[in-house]
Each structure stands twice: as C-alpha cells, then as structure tokens.
Amino acid sequence: FQRTVIGERSVIMVRDVDGSVNVVENVCAHRGMRFCRERHGNRKDFFCPYHQWNYSLKGDLQGVPFRRGVKQDGKVNGGMPKDFKLEEHGLTKLKVATRGGVVFASFDHNVESFEEFLGPTILHYFDRLFNGRKLVVLGYRRQRIPGNWKLMQENIKDPYHPGLLHTWFSTFGLWRADNKSELKMDERFRHAAMISTRGQSGKNERGRWSGVNSFMDQMKVLTIHDCSTSFPTRWCGGPECSDDYKFPERDHSAAGQSVSTRHIQPNGHGSLDFVWTHFAFEDDTPEMLERRLIQANLFGPAGFVSADDGEVIELFQEGFEQKPAYRSVIEMGGHEIGDIEYKITPGLIRGMYAYWREAMGEYYCPRYVCLLARSNGGI
C-alpha cells in the first residue's frame, strides 16, 4: 500500500490479492482516527490501533473487538446493539481509474471517466509519458512550502519565469527563448500541457535566443546535451520536453531523460507540501538509470536551479498577506484564454482561474476577477 492525500484528505492506495487497486480513506469508521501512519508497506488487512477495528483491503469492516460483549458471572455485558451491521461501517471507498500504470481516484462515484476528465488533447501527452512501460521509483523528495497551494499551480503554469528566475537553465542553454513551444489546454481549461522543442537558431549573440546575458556558449551539461544514440533524449532530434498538469494538483513532466511527478498537497490555506516522485523504467540499462538519477538531482531545492520555486512562493504568500486587495497582472500575450504557440505568457494561469471560477461559483478567489471578467468579454 501507499499512503497519500487527495487535497487535505488522507487516503490509502492498496493492491488487492487479485491485483486490482483499491483506494480507501484513511479514517477509521469507529471514532474517526487516521489509523495508518506508515507511508507505504505490505498488509493483508488494515486495523486501527485505537480499538483494533479490522478492515479488508477493500475497506470492508471485518472485525470489532468485544462486538458481542464481555461474559461475566454468566451474564453478557455491553457489546454492539443487535442491529449493528459490519457492512454499514466500512471505510470510505473511492472510485479508481488506472491508465499506463498511474492511479487516479475520486471521492465522487458519479464523476466522469478519467479519459473524459482529461480530454483528448491532454490524454495524448499523458499517454506519451505513461505508455505502459513498467515504471520503477527512483526516489522521493518532499518540500514543505509556506504558501497557498494555488501559488504552486500558478508557478507551474508560468513558463515566463524559468529562464529569468532559474538562471542556471539559461546559462547552460537548457531554457531558450527560441525553443519552439506550445501551451495547450482542455476545453474547460482544467488541465494544460506545455511542449517544447529545442530552438535551432545559431550563435547566441547578445542573448538573442537565450533571452538573457548570462548564457555561456561553452558550458554544457553533458548528461543532457549528449546526443549519442545510446542515450536518446527529447532534446536531441526532438520532439519534446513536455509537462502536463492535471487540475488541481498533479504535474507529470519529462525533461531530458528525467521522468517525474510533482504532487501539490495543501496543508490549510497557507502551506503546502510539494512531493516529487522520480521514476525510471524497469528495462533501463544501468547507465541509463544512473543518467536519470543525475538528472533528477538537477531539479528541486537541492538542485542547480538557482532560486527554487519554493522560495518564491513563500515570498508571494507574504506579499499577498501584506496587501490582500492586490490584483495580479496576467496580461502578457493578451487577455484571451486558449492554446498558445509560444511560452512567454501567463496564458495558462488565465485558463486555470477561468476554471477555478466555474468550479467555485460565487466563492471564487477574487485575485483575478478584473482581468478574467474582461477576457471573457464582460465588464
């Protein structure tokens, strides 16, 4: 099993004896305790340590200590009432969808299918990354960031910043303003994909295609720029470095030869855990495995990305708390919401808040009201 969260709700994903995957809420049906504390492990069943109620891997209640009371002096004391039924007191079960080795779950059993949820455009990029090749986990990285979870969503959907904030990317030519890029969304703007192919311009005179002056032509990260056929990368001969984001909290990315997911886990309104899982494939050679490990370590707070996104989000949060009525400017590239063929734009953020308003109704986040109202042809 693997313990994780959906929003702020703790859930357990577990493989059943028949190979299927169940997801149940990590809250005991007795008195509401979060009974599972390990992050992962193997179990034949689950039990809650408080009063040892026992559940099957499907979440069905199987046993209740002293259910029939305690016999004392020829008399039975206590016990559950006669109308108590085990089948009415299981764990909350979630609807599960699996595709390409990735498991998604929802508390809503009437939710649309996973394929309908993503829509054909985003599904295409999802399938490119998770095409059924067997994955193995290389490792995890967890960051607790003092900021609202939506700030991380915005940050991931903001391809305007990487070459400017993470100067390392530009210095080594990994981020180039002349990369051919496309930003695509599903029709309700819930999800997005950002696809980049390396630019083909010649010499970088006065930062023409790096976009910044810190670029150094001679510096290369060998593990990424090596185009040998034994280590084909998405940067060499194309086509893509891709990132696809599922609303509200999942990001799957492939850059160079690293494959990772990033999970935004909110802790209240002012804090989030940012959880990376780095993957390899089961049939990787030892050399490829090492290469994926090196690349995985380039990213994240201990990587080479210069200032980390987590630092920025902390400062964002402080800024918004100081000036709550502040309105962000997300107008670069226009006010419209739709697919875009370049990346210096916050267009995906406009899409994200269009869907946020739809989902939240009158309780939408007020930060982008003006811009989005205008972009929708309103006031």
- Residues contributing to the site for ligand FES (CB under 6 A): 28, 30-31, 33, 35, 48, 50-51, 53
Does 154 help bind Fe ion (rule: CB under 5 A)? no
Q: Which is nearer to ligand FES, 28 or 296 (CB)?
A: 28
3-state class of 280 per DSSP? Answer: strand
Q: Of 14-22, 87-95, 125-133, 301-309, which segment contacts Fe ion by CB under 5 A?
A: 301-309
Q: Which is nearer to ligand FES, 28 or 221 (CB)?
A: 28
Q: Which of Fe ion, ligand FES, none is residue 309 near (CB under 5 to 8 Å by kind)?
A: Fe ion
Q: Which of Fe ion, ligand FES, none is residue 296 near (CB under 5 to 8 Å by kind)?
A: none
What are the Cα distances from residue 28, in Å, to 10, 49, 217?
Answer: 11, 10, 59
Half-sphere exposure of 58 (CA within 13 A, CB side): 9
Q: Which is nearer to ligand FES, 43 or 327 (CB)?
A: 43
Q: Is 78 left (phi over 0), alpha (psi -120 to 50) or beta?
A: left
Does 158 help bind Fe ion (rule: CB under 5 A)? no
What are the Cα distances from residue 270, in Å, to 250, 255, 329, 337, 339?
Answer: 19, 30, 22, 28, 31
Half-sphere exposure of 358 (CA within 13 A, CB side): 12
Q: Which of ligand FES, Fe ion, none is residue 30 near (CB under 5 to 8 Å by kind)?
A: ligand FES
Instruction: Tell me the closest approach of the beta carbon of residue 49 to ligand FES, in angstroms.
Output: 8
Q: Which is nearer to Fe ion, 25 or 251 (CB)?
A: 251
Sequence-distant (6+) residues with CB within 8 A of 229 are: none
Does 309 help bind Fe ion (rule: CB under 5 A)? yes
> Is residue 366 within 8 Å of residue 353, measured between CB atoms?
no
Instruction: Tell me the closest approach of the beta carbon of residue 68 to ligand FES, in angstroms.
Output: 16
Instruction: Tell me the closest approach of the beta carbon of residue 90 to ligand FES, in angstroms.
Output: 13
Q: Which is nearer to ligand FES, 53 or 172 (CB)?
A: 53
Residue ranges of the alpha helices (H) in the chain?
114-129, 149-156, 162-165, 167-171, 222-225, 286-296, 309-322, 347-360, 369-375
The residue ranges that bind Fe ion (CB under 5 A) are: 309
